[in-house]
Chain A
Amino acid sequence: MSVHVLKPGLLTTLQDRGRPGYAALGVGTAGAMDEVALRLANALVGNAEDAAALEITLSGPRLRFAAAATIALTGAHFNATLDGRPLAAWRPQHVAAGSVFDGGPARRGTLAYLAVAGGFLSESVLGSRSSDLNAHIGPRALRTGDELTIDNASQHAAHRRSTWSLDPRPWFDPDRARPIRLIRGTHFAALDHASQDTLFAAPFRISTQSNRVGFRLDGPHLALAAPLELISEAVTAGTVQLPPGGQPIVLMAEHPTTGGYPRIAHVAAIDRPRLAQRRPGDTLTFAEIELDDAQTRYLERERELVRLIAAIRKRQA
């Protein structure tokens, strides 16, 4: 079964949970920016959690389904339509052969995930079908005329007419006023006192020079109390680096595996999907969280997510 790309949208890529385990080679995990929304989209169509779905950015693609399928849309709130009629998100939806999906523009948030029962197929490279655009690994972004292949063999019978949908509120937070929580990094103490205060008090703006590699933050310049000579070492998704210019960079999914800038903070794992859903131009503030607290909350969220995914599967059984 195939899906024909009539219009690619602003930036639409195949994403799964990425390529963990190759960082020693300089290959980052990458994968979906909002992993929670990806996993729930897959669950809603009966896929394994690591199946590949489309990550849709700000302006959605237009796709024609050659055969009937079951789809689910999660993540940011888009004005999506199916054959011109509004498409309800956060639930499995039957698509008839020949139907046209149009992602439309994003109304709140940045990234939506479109999963299809069976999963989108692409060549698996280092254990993942995802696009790592920065490292040039995996498929490129969608273009008009592309044919996407769906795994027919594993089409799941998730599409009996469902009358329920997920409450997106715990999993998609469009509230741009809520601060993003940061854990102090190794070099936080090397910031001068004013900068230490500023990081947790001042608003920053997500620069237009932001992408899947990192979000650059405009706003007050942060400074070290004294220059630091650092050598390259590991960084991770959520690491907040401070280059000499004084504008912090938050590393996102396609970050390099190592870096040599001061690591002043890390975005709490529970808030990474929330940050990924913010847009260039958005203002954000930071609040401090202790690592122990952040890790405990992350594990709680994981337990809730795993419970929810199990409950969805039960309904489909």
Chain B
Amino acid sequence: MNADERALVIEPLGETVLLLRFGDDIHNALNVRVHAAAALLRAVELPGIVDLVPAYATLALHYAPEIWIGHHNTPWRHLADAVRAVFATPPADAAPPTPALVEIPVCYGGDDGPDLAEVAHHCALRTDEVIAHHAAATYTVAMLGFAPGFPYLLGLDTRLHTPRRATPRTRVTAGSVAIGGAQTGIYPAELPGGWHLIGRTPLTLFDATLDPPCLLAAGDRVRFHAIDRADFDALARPHAR
């Protein structure tokens, strides 16, 4: 059975969230379905939906149960029925919007990417090959989570897959570009983290006082390009976008 044929599973998460499950693993086809489902649910505007949270293989609907009081059913059953009905007969014009492509400059290696040599060693590559492979791919923002604005990116070249560090760092510098297993991501703020740091971007990934607060949205495409330290300093100004 391929990803498209699998039945939609709805799992309640307490009294105010329904989790729509499309699968259990990390691959692009599943994540595409998640973003298509999010676009569909945004288009049909079910009442009382507070938030739609895409993840790799699931979409969470945060809802107000008082809006979904039914005559015969508790709210979560009532809403689950409504969601199933939406997916049974989706409107024709609910295609996901064309994703944005965001270019992210990265200063690779050195103090900005203290684990670059370790990743190269693990992958049996030269450091310049790691950089070239990392900057060659086009990634998809599968989801934002862990911390405000942290993007989990799909599309890392299999030659760069590197298991997480045995001991996580208690502090990772904001802007650090990192590899964790089959994933790559960017730390939007100073955070603890167990991924390998291969570089750093001067761009601001998250600032709650900006509109929009996040540089990236789930579903966006991302490309990295290498810059040197002088470019980094020139670009590194408050709220650089």
Contacts and interface: CB of A to CB of B under 8 A. Distances in A.
B209 interface: yes
Interface stretch (B49-57, B82-90, B121-129, B224-232): B49-57
Contact of B76 (A25, A136, A235, A295): A295
B25 to A, nearest CB: 7
Given A126-B213, A295-B65, A26 B13 contact: no
B116 interface: no
B168 interface: no
Interface in A41-57: none
A183 interface: yes
Interface stretch (A95-103, A199-207, A255-263): A255-263
A290 to B, nearest CB: 10
B60 A234 contact: yes
A24 B54 contact: yes
B110 interface: no
Given A22-B51, A183-B14, A234-B58, A292 B149 contact: no
B218 interface: yes
B6 to A, nearest CB: 16
A26 B146 contact: yes
A236 B66 contact: no
Is the interface on chain A under 10, 10 to 19, 20 to 34, or 35 or more residues?
35 or more
Interface in A262-285: 263, 266-269
Contact of A238 (B14, B213, B217): B14
B74 A296 contact: yes
B35 to A, nearest CB: 11
Nearest to B64: A20
Contact of A258 (B26, B65, B146): B146
B57 to A, nearest CB: 6
A260 to B, nearest CB: 9
A188 B150 CA distance: 29
B20 to A, nearest CB: 10
A224 B150 CA distance: 29
Given A125-B209, A266-B13, A292-B74, A258 B55 contact: yes
Contacts of B60: 23, 233-234, 236
Indicate the size class of the contact surface on chain B.
35 or more
Interface in A212-255: 230-239
A187 to B, nearest CB: 10
A171 interface: no
Interface in A65-90: none
A230 B13 CA distance: 16
B65 A299 contact: yes
B37 to A, nearest CB: 13
A126 B213 CA distance: 9
A25 B144 contact: yes
Interface string B179-191: 0000000000100
A231 B24 contact: yes
A295 B150 CA distance: 32
B81 interface: no
Nearest to A265: B14
Contacts of B39: none
Contacts of B209: 125
A22 to B, nearest CB: 7
A183 B13 CA distance: 9
Nearest to B11: A186
8 closest cross-chain pairs (CB), A and B: A258-B145, A234-B60, A266-B14, A233-B55, A26-B144, A233-B58, A292-B74, A26-B148
30 contacts: A23-B51, A24-B144, A24-B218, A25-B213, A25-B217, A26-B145, A26-B150, A26-B206, A27-B208, A126-B208, A135-B147, A138-B208, A186-B13, A231-B56, A232-B56, A232-B143, A232-B145, A232-B146, A233-B19, A236-B13, A257-B53, A258-B53, A266-B15, A268-B15, A269-B15, A291-B14, A291-B15, A292-B74, A292-B76, A295-B75
Given A21-B50, A232-B146, A256-B147, 5 more contacts: A183-B15, A233-B60, A236-B62, A263-B13, A295-B74
